[in-house]
Structure 1
Amino acid sequence: MTRLTRLRSVGPDAADLVDRMVDLSVRGLPPGYADGEFVFTRRGHRGPDGRWTAVPEGRSVRYSAIVALGVATLPEKTQRAALAGDTALDLTGNMIKRLPDITGLGDTALICWAAAETGHSDLGAALARLAEIEDAATGPVYTVEAAWALAALAAVRTAGGAPGLDGRLERSRDRLLAGLGDDRLYRHVIGSAPWYRAHVGCFADQVYPMQSLARLHAAAGGDSEALAAAERIAEGICAAQGSEGQWWWHYDARTGGVVEGYPVYSVHQLSMAPMALLDLADAGGTPYMDAIALGLRWMTSRPETDEELIVEELDLTWRKAARDDPKKVVRGVRAMSTAINRGARVAVLDRMYPPVAVDHECRPYELGWLLYAWLFEGLSQGLSQGLSEGLAG
């Protein structure tokens, strides 16, 4: 049963939306593809006639690697339509060529992950570069990057393994599990952070560890501790989900309470929450299809704004619904107040800074993760392979 079929059983309207968004993503990727990599964003500009255009800005290795993962789920003909004639393998190869100049753990991990899933012949080089960067790293590490590193190694394991992989996989696993510790949810940083925001974790800090721990369980022949941690995170974010389907942004990792809900991001609603929760279900965890469907419905009907977030004429989605708070006052005040007094709200800020703004940009990874979330079907196969290897060992 495909992911879309499972969704249709609980929410036909939500499934129709995903169908529509998959097609939009394929059409929306080529305008952001230039010289073998993706732009950082397509920023909306409104002309005197009221019509929107989307202007490409910058370049992003990270977003290119994420798109490679998403596009790899498509048939080759459709890959070439999404990548202006290239394939996901070509795009991954372009990123691998950049590896000697890349020093970030997250970017390197994503490239390695893409190399594993596209079957690139230079996977060994990508894995070696990831090992170099991890071995040289000292001090705190961002939770998201630690999760991507584990996901990459789990993908290598599912793809057939590599010399020395088991030891690295275990160290990566232990680092991520230690970062959760006794907290209800993940913090933004594994290691020390400034006191006034050390307790805060964003939505991405929950989604990517949940995903990677579920995938570790699938790839490593069963890992009950990893699966239990992924379940803890899923239960936490689903319990905190807004009544209209909002996946909130900042949490108190100690309690699981919401520190600050806004912005609400399109990519969270359409892609990242479904991706991680579906991976958890594929790995034998709790299915949260109703929560996924509710989150999807926010994209077409929401209390924050009547402005459409899905822009068919530009083949993109606007990035987020946010507070009219350009200096991020609410985020800072609530982080500090909850550091001092758990559960503090400073409710007057909701009236001073209502969530009525829309961020008119679209980053390529938003479309890449959408394809990956809904078209990826390899985890159950990886689970079977991993369990067989585990039993054989």
Structure 2
Amino acid sequence: MTRHEGRLGALAEIDSSAAELADRMVGLSVRGLPPGYVNGEFVFTRRGRLGGDGRWTAVPEGRSVRYSAIVALGVAALPEDAQRAALAGDTVLDLVGNLVKGLPDVGNLGDVALVAWAAAEAGHPGLDRALQRLAELEGALRPGDPVHTVEASWALAALVAAHRVSHGAADLDRRLDHARERLLTGLGDDRLYRHVLGPASWYRAHVGCFADQVYPLQALARLHAHTGDAAALKAAERIAAGICAAQGPQGQWWWHYDARTGGVVEGYPVYSVHQLSMAPMALLDLADAGGTSYMKEIALGLHWMTSRPEIDDELIVEELDLTWRKAARDDPKKIVRGVRAVATAINQGSRLGVLDRIYPPLAVDRECRPYELGWLLYAWVFSLPRDTPGTQG
């Protein structure tokens, strides 16, 4: 039995219709990736455009190293024929090779970490080059410099993956310890993770978004699976319990949290990628690493995609093989987010409920970014090996 079958089988024991949806979305993702694959890399987004005939199309825009690397992670889990189907004839080694070639021009720590992670997962010979570029960017940081939680998490996940395939080569032990310590120290006594590890603007210093919880949860669970690190598992369990306690009654994975308490600062938008991909990915990795299983919460989140109180519009668009990005407030200037961040900084737990009436969550963001489909494949197809606890390779 493959991990894909195992995860869906475990979900089917709890909720067969949720498992059927997840299985259907795996196929949609493979079909939906090629339209965004241009000259060996992925576009930034496919933006919905309504034609004169009343039908939607999705127009490719921009390019993204970050999203290309995330797709590489997801596609690496597929057999070669499915890789070629998803990548318009290419394999994941072709995609990762293109990313490695472009590394000298990439200056974002998170993007480089994702490329290194993808190279490790795909078994690409450019892994050493990616690790070197990651070391260069890490070396440019001064003591006390703020680092985004998401980027620090991707760096740890990349080093865990590289450490596994490199069997503890050279300086990876030291680098892995540093990345681990940075992430664990960044959590401190908070209930959840903040957006930045280190100094941040006073009015948002206490706020962390959903991604700021999912990626450290995933990285720490993977670290525990590889090394048996008890502190990493304990922190991962804290984050998982926190986001699941805050989950909405219809399965919504909310957007912004007060890291000090775990309370929700602002719930919207609710993103399709959170419901279908990111929450399942991290929580399933935790379970695979020997942690708590949150299969009921995963199933509830999946069901939001097909039945939700906020909007009637379909978010799964079968004819375009994509999902629309989010259900959001009609609040283009993000007033609600800003006001509630300030309010909770001044008065912990403040909600300002009148904002829900002024800006109800009735809008649909009609675009689809490639990473949404890449993480979906990674969530439901990837096989997480679990090493003997306490070993290092």
Match of 1:249 in 2: 255
2:206 to 185, 199, 204: 199
Match of 1:211 in 2: 218
- Does 2:127 correspond to 1:123? yes
* Identity value in percent: 74
- Write the distance in 1 (CA, Å) between the matches of 2:77 and 2:89: 16
- Does 2:261 correspond to 1:259? no
Counterpart AA for 1:96: V
- Write the distance in 2 (CA, Å) between the matches of 1:98 and 1:107: 11
Match of 1:349 in 2: 355
- Considering only aligned residues, what root-mean-square deviation do their CA atoms show, in Å? 1.0
Q: CA deviation at 1:389?
A: 4.5
- Does 2:14 correspond to 1:7? no
1:271 to 277, 281, 295: 277
1:324 to 319, 326, 330: 330
- Write the distance in 1 (CA, Å) between the matches of 2:107 and 2:263: 34
Match of 1:174 in 2: 181
State the aligned residue count: 386
- Write the distance in 2 (CA, Å) between the matches of 1:86 and 1:262: 37
Q: CA deviation at 1:48?
A: 1.8
For 1:182-193, what aligned pairs fall within 5 Å after superposition? 182-193=189-200
Match of 1:225 in 2: 231
For 1:353-372, what aligned pairs fall within 5 Å after superposition? 353-372=359-378
Match of 2:297 in 1: 291
For 1:44-193, what aligned pairs fall within 5 Å after superposition? 44-138=48-142, 139-161=145-167, 162-193=169-200
Q: CA deviation at 1:383?
A: 2.4
Counterpart AA for 2:255: W
- Write the distance in 1 (CA, Å) between the matches of 2:341 and 2:237: 26
Counterpart AA for 1:69: L
Structure 1 residues not aligned, in runs of 5+: none
Q: CA deviation at 1:159?
A: 1.3
Counterpart AA for 1:209: P
Structure 2 residues not aligned, in runs of 5+: none
Contact 1:28 1:316 in 2 (8 A): yes
* Structure 2 length-normalised TM: 0.97
Consecutive aligned runs of 4 or more in structure 1 exceeding 6 Å deviation: none
Q: CA deviation at 1:47?
A: 1.1
What CA deviation, in whole Å up to 9, does each residue of 1:218-244 have, x standing for no partner?
A: 112x11101000000000000000000
SS in 2 for 1:313: helix
What CA deviation, in whole Å up to 9, does each residue of 1:155-209 have, x standing for no partner?
A: 0112133211000000000000111000000000001111001000000000000
Counterpart AA for 2:214: V
- Write the distance in 1 (CA, Å) between the matches of 2:337 and 2:387: 40
SS in 1 for 2:319: coil
Contact 1:218 1:387 in 2 (8 A): no
- Does 2:311 correspond to 1:305? yes
Counterpart AA for 1:306: D
